[in-house]
Amino acid sequence: MSKANNPLIGFQIDPADLFFVGQDLERPECILAERDGTLWSADGRGGVMRINPDGTQELILQKGQKMNTATSFEDRLVNTKGSLPNGLTFDANGDFLIANFGTDRVERMTRTGETSVIIDNVDGKPFGKANFVTRDSKGRLWLTVTTTMNPWTDHVTSHSRDGYIALIDERGARIVADNLCGTNELRFDPKEEWLYVAETTSRNVTRFRVDGDTLTDREIYGPSDLGGFNDGIAFDAYGNLWTTLVMADRLVAITPEGDLLTILDAGGDPKALAKLDKAWEERRLTPELMGACGGSVCPWMASLTFGGPDLRTIYLGSLRGTNIPYFQSPTAGQPLIYW
């Protein structure tokens, strides 16, 4: 692949050209897309929202759990009270695997809401803030834990490196990489030779070589500072690694050569964002500074998902939005394991 042939070179999308799907969503942090056009969005009330191709939707709550009715910024985003499905993926049978940022565990939920706990500890100790879960071709689960601090925003202030990646298989859960700073979404390359993870609070992507059930050869992938707090990540078919910058509400991509491209800038008050960036540099972030940031189009942009019949439709998840923006990409996404 040559740099000149990269379909993202010169491509940008104007916020005014975005389309939207879904309505009255709650904390649509992560989105799953199916071949028939059905979307599934994590929902902060404690479940998932099914959005059908015709636009109709149905909220499926986790049975056996009280609906999460927390609405304040403090309870929903700082104290993370109640069930807060965060990272989602499909199990092999089509059930949902949920990294729950509120209950601090990995759960399985059927499409009708029956919920069971897969695991809630590693070596007998509670996980901490379970952020994202995915599975590999061997059927193993890989979980990211952002921090063990409670509230989790204490980690953001201190830049603590207590995040980790856990491998979950028939032997249970065990930590395979630690000393991570705000561990967030993770993705494999097509051959599952490398595992990439967003370190949100250090604002970079780190990758590891996968050697059986261990991770080796740790290195930063692309810029050491992406210019914002990178959250969700996803590869396209060309090899660009896309990532959302939460609170800045920007979508960027790291090319195979390590260059950084801006695809979408839907940010809010630039002065508030400048204060946030300065506070990050000086390690004095607060929830109040964070809460002042974000635009109106995709507030606190948190994830991206390739969907559509040709995997060229990009859906954007967010922490404070009520719908899902989407647009057409010049390149298809890397098919995920369930596609």
Inside any domain, residue 2: no
Inside any domain, residue 7: no
Q: pLDDT per residue over 26-39, tens digit each?
A: 999 999 999 999 99
Domain that holds residue 155: 16-328
Task: Give the residue from 234, 196, 206, 222 showing the smallest Cα distance to 334.
Answer: 234
Inside any domain, residue 338: no
Alpha-carbon distance of 224 to 240, in angstroms, equals 17
Q: E strands within 200-276? A: 204-211, 214-221, 229-235, 241-246, 250-254, 260-265
Mean pLDDT of 223-245: 98
Task: Give the residue from 174, 219, 169 showing the smallest Cα distance to 199.
Answer: 219
Inside any domain, residue 172: yes
Inside any domain, residue 6: no
- Count CB atoms within 10 A of the CB of residue 274: 11
Is the CB of residue 203 less than 8 Å from the CB of residue 227? yes
Q: pLDDT per residue over 281-294, tens digit each?
A: 999 988 899 999 99
Query: Is residue 257's pLDDT more than 80?
Result: yes
Mean pLDDT of 316-323: 96
Q: Output 68 or 55, whichever has higher pLDDT.
A: 55
Phi-psi region of 258 (alpha: psi -120 to 50; beta: other; left: phi over 0): left
Question: What domain count does the chain have?
Answer: 1
Inside any domain, residue 1: no
The CATH number of whichever domain residue 51 belongs to comes to 2.120.10.30
Lowest-confidence region among 58-67, 74-83, 206-215: 74-83
Inside any domain, residue 250: yes
Mean pLDDT of 17-26: 97
Adjacent-strand bridge partners of 131: none
Inside any domain, residue 336: no
What is the chain's mean pLDDT, rounded? 95
**Residue percentage of the chain with pLDDT more than 90:** 88
Q: Determine which helix (DSSP H) or strand (DSSP E) holds 11, and give its type and residue range.
A: none
